[in-house]
């Protein structure tokens, strides 16, 4: 499906966005390992979390879905049964990487695979630490999926210092630690998303500027209920859309504002964005608030590098769109991880910005360009066919660009937004009515 977008209409109103994808994945997995009934309110009914749910069901865990609530009937930490066929993670790297941490602790053989895009993504980063723990896990000779997991004699707790920030690798090790003998410690020099340690209630300490998360093996988990706030990564598209589209004023309700997830908001505020977080409170250990955004004149002159990259990795495509409508320069460095997402997002961003007439320099670990408010100030009526590269975040980012530009544009294969936000195009349209 190609999506035609008529741009430059003010965006106004209050919206909600679907539940947080990262928390939805983790709630299902933790609920499946707990003993008892776990109710997940606000579970994200999108392709990626559903891949996790279907894998859990294939492992013998009963689930039930009703309006806005997903219930998991956990049988305890040793309650899985051997699947009858390979587990299918679809397009979800989170499903594959986190579930691998659980599978290495099982007493049966299993295999986990995914679609053609997921089978190209690197898995060495989880295979190595899980092997250090005694896990019997292997992939292809290129360290890609499918991953085969055989029973291990005994997982052992380790101290693992993260070579690069990655919430998925950290979570895989911590989940494996539930099945390991002794304690497992994960040490982070640069903090990544902390949902797993929050949701498991793990002890966290700091020493010499590094974060240490600990988990003890063999502890039985008790069922609890989870409330899933709105996904800040999904909200980011509407934050940017309201900032760059003239005369816009939008409130996005009930969004997770976990400090490890809202680096993009602080960056946009530094660029001059009129953004406020209102009605802040905490639910289930996660901070939540309403984001109020108004059209703003942005000045970029940003170099994104170092510690900020892990906190904005999913938002870089839409941040590049915000910068394209700003005055000044924009550069991303140290973000090679973007090349291993659902598509090569560095190449995808550069290609689409070039289609819009912006001269972009592509580097191995990022890109750079001068915007000078080109897209917003242009009087021409563009007819651009943006490519989604079958990546939900690329499709939504350049859908936002089209909504702010004069004239019409198109996003090819726009249905890929179903991975995380099936109603994205409908919500975007509702703000112009």
* Cβ proximity of 70 and 57 under 8 Å: no
What whole-number distance in Å separates Cα of residue 63 and Cα of residue 259? Answer: 31
Which candidate, 110, 145, 141, 107, places its Cα nearest to that of 126?
145
Q: Measured in whole angstroms, how far is the alpha carbon of residue 141 from the centre of its chain?
A: 27
Reply yes or no: is the peptide bond before residue 146 cis, omega within 30 of 0.
yes
Contact 358, 324 (CB under 8 A): yes
Beta-sheet pairing, 3-6 with 226-227: unpaired
Distance (Å, whole) CA 394 – CA 388:
5
| Catalytic member of 88, 231, 290, 314 | 314
Active site residue 314: yes
Segment (H or E) for 170: helix 167-177
Tokens of 136: 């019997």
Check: CB of residue 327 under 8 Å from CB of residue 351.
no
Closest CA to 17 of 420, 433, 368: 420
Please report how many Cα atoms fall inside a 13 Å half-sphere around the Cα of residue 3, on the Cβ side.
25
**The CA-based dihedral angle spanning residues 318, 288, 194, 421, taken in that order and rounded to the nearest 10 degrees:** -40
Alpha-carbon 412 to chain mean position: 22
**CB count in 10 Å sphere of residue 380:** 9
* Residue numbers annotated as active site: 314
């Amino acid at each position: 499906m190609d999506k035609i977008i008529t741009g430059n209409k003010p965006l106004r109103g209050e919206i909600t966005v679907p539940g947080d994808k990262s928390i939805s994945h983790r709630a299902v997995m933790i609920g499946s390992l707990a003993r008892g009934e776990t109710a997940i309110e606000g579970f994200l009914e999108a392709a990626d979390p559903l891949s996790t749910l279907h894998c859990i069901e294939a492992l013998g865990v009963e689930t039930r879905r009703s309006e806005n609530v997903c219930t998991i009937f956990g049988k305890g930490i040793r309650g899985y049964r051997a699947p009858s066929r390979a587990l299918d993670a679809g397009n979800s790297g989170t499903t594959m990487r986190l579930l691998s941490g659980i599978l290495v602790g099982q007493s049966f053989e299993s295999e986990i695979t995914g679609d053609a895009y997921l089978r190209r993504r690197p898995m060495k980063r989880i295979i190595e630490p899980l092997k250090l723990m005694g896990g019997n896990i292997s992939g292809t000779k290129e360290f890609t999926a499918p991953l085969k997991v055989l029973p291990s004699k005994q997982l052992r707790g380790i101290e693992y210092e993260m070579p690069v920030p990655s919430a998925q690798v950290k979570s895989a090790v911590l989940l494996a630690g539930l099945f390991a003998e002794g304690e497992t410690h994960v040490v982070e020099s640069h903090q990544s998303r902390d949902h797993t340690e929050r949701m498991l209630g793990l002890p966290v300490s700091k020493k010499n500027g590094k974060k240490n998360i600990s988990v003890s093996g063999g502890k039985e988990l008790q069922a609890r209920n989870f409330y899933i706030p709105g996904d800040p990564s999904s909200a980011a598209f509407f934050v940017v859309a309201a900032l760059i589209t003239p005369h816009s004023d939008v409130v996005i309700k009930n969004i997770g504002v976990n400090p490890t997830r809202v680096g993009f908001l602080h960056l946009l505020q530094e660029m001059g964005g009129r953004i406020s977080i209102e009605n802040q409170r905490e639910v289930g250990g996660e901070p939540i608030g309403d984001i109020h955004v108004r059209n703003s004149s942005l000045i970029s002159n940003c170099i994104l590098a170092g510690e900020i990259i892990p906190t904005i990795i999913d938002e870089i495509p839409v941040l590049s769109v915000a910068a394209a409508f700003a005055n000044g320069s924009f550069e991303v460095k140290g973000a090679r991880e973007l090349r291993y997402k659902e598509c090569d997002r560095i190449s995808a961003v550069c290609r689409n910005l070039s289609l819009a007439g912006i001269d972009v320099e592509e580097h191995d670990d990022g890109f750079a360009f001068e915007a000078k408010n080109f897209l917003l100030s242009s009087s021409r009526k563009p007819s651009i066919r943006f490519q989604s590269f079958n990546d939900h975040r690329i499709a939504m980012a350049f859908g936002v660009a089209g909504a702010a530009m004069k004239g019409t544009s198109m996003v090819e294969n726009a249905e890929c937004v179903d991975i995380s936000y099936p109603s994205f195009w409908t919500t975007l349209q509702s703000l112009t009515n």
